[in-house]
Structure 1
Amino acid sequence: MSGYQSFPYRTGASNSPGKLTRLYLPPLAGRSFLDVGCNEGYFCGFAFFDGAAKAVGIDIREDALTTARRLFPQCEFRLQNWGSLDPDERFDVILCASALHYANDQEALIHTLVAHLTPDGLLTLETGIAPGQTPEWKEVRRSIDTRLFPTRPMLESILAPYAWKYMGESVSQPGDPLPRSVYHIRRKRPFFILLLQEPGSGKTSLRRELFSHCPAISGDALIARIAAGHEACSPALRACVERVYKPDKIAFAITRVCEQGLLPDYLDVVLTCAGESTTVYDGYIPAPYRPLVERFFAAHAYIPVTPAWTNAGNNGHQGTRARQETRQYELYLAALLNKIT
C-alpha cells in the first residue's frame, strides 16, 4: 500500500519522521494544534502523542482522512479546505507543510492562518523557495503539475508584518524541484522597555541615547500628576501618593506605593498612558518589585525588556543622601565653631 506520508508499516513519498525533526515544533502539551493539509494525520498523531489538548487536521481528501481517523481516533479530522475555517477558532500551533503552493492565493492563506493563532501562537510553515533575488512568484514544473512558488524576498516581504524566523531547510523528497524551507511565524507584539534602576543611574540618558524614537513615560512626571489629581487612578493609589509626595522624594513615594500593595494600581495607570507600539517606561521601581512589573506587561500582550547596566557615577538616592550629608556638615560646622569661639 503506497501513500504520501511515511509510517513504521509503510514508506511513503514523504519522509515524515525526517520532516518532523526539521519543523522544530514547540512542546505541544496542553496546547491546541491544527494541521492544514493533514493527509493521513501523521503530525496530528504526533501532537496527540506530545500531549496536545486538541489536535485537528483538515484536508480535502476523504480517503486520506479515513486512514487518519482509523490511526488516530483521539484527534479530530475535518473534510474541508482552509477557506472554510471557523473565523472564531484559534490554535496555539498551526502547521502548514507542503501545502502552501496548492492555494490559489498563497499570501492570503498565510494571513488567514496567522489570524487563527492565539495571541502567543506559532505558525510553522514549510514551503518550496524559488531561486531569485527579487520579490516575485515563479512558475515551477513539478513531476505531477506546475505551481507557483515564492522567491525568498517574496516570502519574507509577505511575512514583514509578523515576527518570523527562518529555521533552515526541510528534508528533500524524490522529485523535489526546489529546496523546502521552514519558517516560524508569530504575531508581532510591542516591546515595553523598562528602565527601572535607581535614581541617578542614567535611565533618562539611556532613554535619550537609545530609545528617542519610541514613546516614553516618565515615572517622575506620572507620580507628580497623580499627586496633583491630574491623572485618573484608584482612590487608594491617589491617597497614598498624596500623603508622601514631594518633588525630591519621588523614589520614596513609589517605594511606599509598592509596600502598600498598590503597584498593580500604578501599573494600570502606566498602561493607560501607553499605546499599542513599543513604549519606554523611565522611572525607579525597587528591585524586589521589578519581576512583578515584567509579569504585568507580559500579561497585557507586551514583551517586557529590562536593560541592565553599570554606572560608576550612580548617585543613588540623591535626596536622602543630600539631607544626610547636609545634617552631618551642619554638625561638623557647629563643632568647628565651638572650637574657634
Structure 2
Amino acid sequence: MPGYQTFPYQPGSSDSLGKLTMLKIPALTAKSFLDVGCNEGFFCGYALFDGARKVVGIDINKEAIINAKQNFPGCSFFQQSWDELPPDEKFDVILCSSAMHYAQDQERLIHLLAEKLTQNGVLILEVGVAPGNEAEWVKVQRSIDTRIFPTRNKINSILSRYAYKYMGESSEQIGDPIPRAVFHVRKKKPYAFLLMQGPGAGKTTIRNSFFQEQKIVSGDALILNIASGKLKSDTKLHEVLSNGVNPAKIDVAVRSIFSTGLWKKYLEAVLAVSSGESFVYDGYIPALYHELVLDFFKANGYFSVNLCWDSPYASQDLGSRVKAEARKYSLYLAAVRNKLRR
C-alpha cells in the first residue's frame, strides 16, 4: 500500500517534490530544522541535503517514524505529539505541512510552534483555507474524513501578532476539496527608526510629522544627560562628554564618540532608554557609521530602518566652511583698511 509522501523509489498520495518547491524553504546551511508531522522524513532529508546542522522530525505515527529513521539515519526522529516539543530548544526553521488540521486546537499549535523559533527563525505553515469572508473555522468534508479549516480572514487574524507573509498556494492535494496556502511566519521585532542625517537636515520635523505616537530617543538630549550625569552610563563615556559639551555643537561630541571607539557604550545607552520597545532615534551620526549602527540594533533584536534623504538645508559642514571663510574675510577687511589708509 503506498504511503503518504512520494519518493523517487516509492509512490505516495502526496506530490512531495512539488510541495517542496511551493513551500519556499529558505537556505538551511548551518541552521536547525524541525518538521512537525514529518511522516516518513521527506522534508527532513531535504534539510540534511541542504546543509542543516541539526534536523529533527516528530510524528505520532509509529510506522512512519520507523521508515523515516531508515530513510535518513543522519536525522533525529521521535514518535510523539506536538504537545511534547523539546522544552528548552529553539529552531531556525520549523515546518508544519499537511498537519495542522489534525490538531485539536489549531490556533494554540501555531502559537506553540512560534514560541520555539529562534530570534530570526521562520515557521513555514502550509494550511488548507476554507471559503468564506468571515474570520471563522469551517467544517470541510474530505475524501477520507471531515476536518475543521480556517478561512483566509481567520488565519490572518491568528497570524496578526506575528510578522507573516503569504507565499502563494501549495501544490494540489489529492482528496482535498479546498486549496492549501503557504505562510512564512516570524516573531515580530520592535522597530528602530533611525533618523541620523546631519544637523539641519529636517530630522525633528520628520519625527514630529510621522512618529508622534512612537517612543522618541533624542540624540542631543541623551548626550547632554550623559554629560551632566542625569543619565547613568559607562564611566569613560561620561568622562569624555562631561569635558565641556557645547549644546550648540552636539555633532562634534557625536564624532568624538564614534572616532574614539565609544560608540557601543553610547548605543547601549540608547537601548536602555528604548526599554525594548519600538523607538525613533533623532540624532546626527556620521554616514560612515550608519551600517555599524544598523548592525548593532539588529543584533539586539530590533528591525532597523535607516531613513535617508537629501536635504539642501543640512548644516554639518557649515561650521568648518564659515570658519574658513571668516579667516578670508578677516584678511579682506585688513586689506581694505590698509588701502583706505594710503
Deviation at 1:3, TM superposition (A): 0.5
**Separation (CA, whole Å) in 2 of partners of 1:300 and 1:75:** 32
Distance 1:3 1:173 in 2: 14
Does residue 208 of structure 2 align to residue 191 of structure 1? Answer: no
Shift of 1:97: 0.4
Q: Which amino acid aligns with 1:220?
A: D
Tell me the CA shift for residue 129 of structure 1. Answer: 0.2
Per the alignment, in what secondary structure is the counterpart of residue 160 of structure 2?
A: coil
Contact kept? 2:251, 2:316, Cα under 8 Å: no
1:179 maps onto 2:179 in alignment? yes
Tell me the equivalent position of 1:12: 12
- Per the TM alignment, residue 327 of structure 1 is displaced from its structure 2 partner at its CA by 4.7
Residue by residue over 1:108-164, the C-alpha shift from the partner in whole angstroms, topping out at 9 and shown as x without a partner, is 000000011111110000010000111000001111111100000001000010000
Partner SS, residue 57 of structure 2? strand
Take 1:320 and 1:214, find their aligned partners in 2: how far apart are those partners? 35
Q: CA deviation at 1:257?
A: 1.2
Q: Distance in 1 between matches of 2:325 and 2:193?
A: 34
1:297 paired residue number? 297
Q: Distance in 2 between matches of 1:83 and 1:315?
A: 59
User: What is residue 92 of structure 1 aligned with on the other side?
Assistant: 92
How far 1:87 sits from its partner (Å)?
Answer: 2.3
CA contact (8 A) 1:37 1:59 kept: yes
**What does 1:261-276 correspond to in 2, within 5 Å?**
261-276=261-276
| Larger displacement relative to structure 2 (194-203 or 106-115) | 194-203
TM-score w.r.t. length of structure 1: 0.96
Equivalent position SS for 2:194:
strand
Q: Distance in 1 between matches of 2:316 and 2:263?
A: 22
Separation of aligned partners in 1, 2:86 and 2:76: 14
Aligned to 1:104: 104
- Inter-partner Cα distance in structure 2 for 1:81 and 1:103: 10
> What SS is found at the alignment partner of 1:309?
coil
Q: How many residues align?
A: 341
Task: Indicate conservation of the 8 Å contact 2:144/2:175, yes or no.
Answer: no
The answer on whether the counterparts of 1:22 and 1:169 sit within 8 Å (CA) in structure 2 is yes
Contact in 2 for aligned 1:248/1:319 (Cα 8 Å): no
Report matched runs for 1:23-102 at 5 Å: 23-102=23-102
- Superposed displacement of residue 319, structure 1: 4.0
> What SS is found at the alignment partner of 1:86?
coil
CA distance in 1 between counterparts of 2:338 and 2:81 reads 95
Contact 1:199–1:318, Cα closer than 8 Å, also in 2: no
Q: Which amino acid aligns with 2:71?
A: L
Equivalent positions of 1:1-341 (< 5 A) are 1-341=1-341
Give distance in 2, aligned partners of 1:176 and 1:222.
59
Q: Is the Cα contact below 8 Å between 1:200 and 1:318 reproduced in 2?
A: no
Conservation of the 8 A alpha-carbon contact between 2:126 and 2:182: yes
CA shift digits 1:218-255 (9 cap, x unpaired): 11111111111211111111111122511122111111
1:153-199 deviations in Å (ceiling 9; x for gaps): 00100001000000000000222110000000000011111111111
CA distance in 2, matches of 1:331, 1:249: 26
TM-score, normalization by structure 2: 0.96
- Aligned residue identity for 1:167: M
Are 1:251 and 1:317, in contact at CA under 8 Å, matched by a contact in 2?
A: no
C-alpha distance in 1 between matches for 2:311 and 2:206: 11
Q: CA RMSD for the aligned pairs?
A: 1.5
Q: Residues of 2 paired with 1:77 and 1:52: CA distance?
A: 15
Mapped partners of 2:283, 2:293: distance in 1: 12
> Which ranges of 4 or more aligned residues in structure 1 deviate by more than 6 Å?
none
Residue type of the partner of 2:106? Q
